[in-house]
């Protein structure tokens, strides 16, 4: 995985690999999360960044713009900026997913 120390939160471990600007983006964040069964990293939410979620291990549900999809290893979600979304581990074993979200400099306004 990474040498990054995880943030141990209630029912999850969060690994943040990068969080900051790039040459062409005002902000990008990439990381991973290991969710215990029945857990979500946070309630359904929205933010200005576009986002990808990729499931590495386990099973669960991803909600994006009101549509709930059952997911497992290899599943990927794209969610446009300011769209309500979230993920929940509905399985019996830990679920690992990876995220990457970004905001273009032109999207700042």
Residue at 109 is within a domain: no
Percent of the chain with pLDDT over 90: 85
Write out the residue range of the structural domain in which residue 91 sits: 7-104
Residue at 2 is within a domain: no
Q: What is the pTM of this model?
A: 0.90
User: Hunting for tokens 């581990």 — which residue is that?
Assistant: 89
Partners of 50 in beta bridges: 102
Partners of 67 in beta bridges: 64
Model confidence at 1, in pLDDT bands (50, 70, 90)? very low
Q: What is the dihedral of CA 50, 56, 57, 59, to 10 degrees?
A: 40
Residue at 1 is within a domain: no
Residue at 24 is within a domain: yes
Tens of pLDDT, residues 45-64: 999 999 999 999 999 999 99
CATH code, domain with 25: 2.60.120.10
Number of domains comprising the chain:
1
């Amino acid at each position: 995985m990474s040498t990054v120390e995880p943030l141990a939160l209630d029912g999850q471990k969060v690994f943040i690999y990068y969080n900051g600007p790039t040459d062409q983006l005002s902000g990008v964040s990439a990381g991973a999360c290991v969710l215990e069964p029945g857990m979500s990293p946070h309630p359904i939410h929205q933010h200005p960044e576009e986002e990808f979620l990729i499931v590495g291990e386990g099973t669960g549900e991803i909600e994006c713009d009101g549509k709930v999809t059952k997911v497992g290893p290899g599943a990927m979600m794209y969610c446009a900026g300011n769209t309500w979304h979230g993920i929940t581990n509905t399985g019996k074993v830990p679920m690992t997913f990876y995220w990457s979200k970004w905001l273009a400099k032109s999207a700042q306004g």
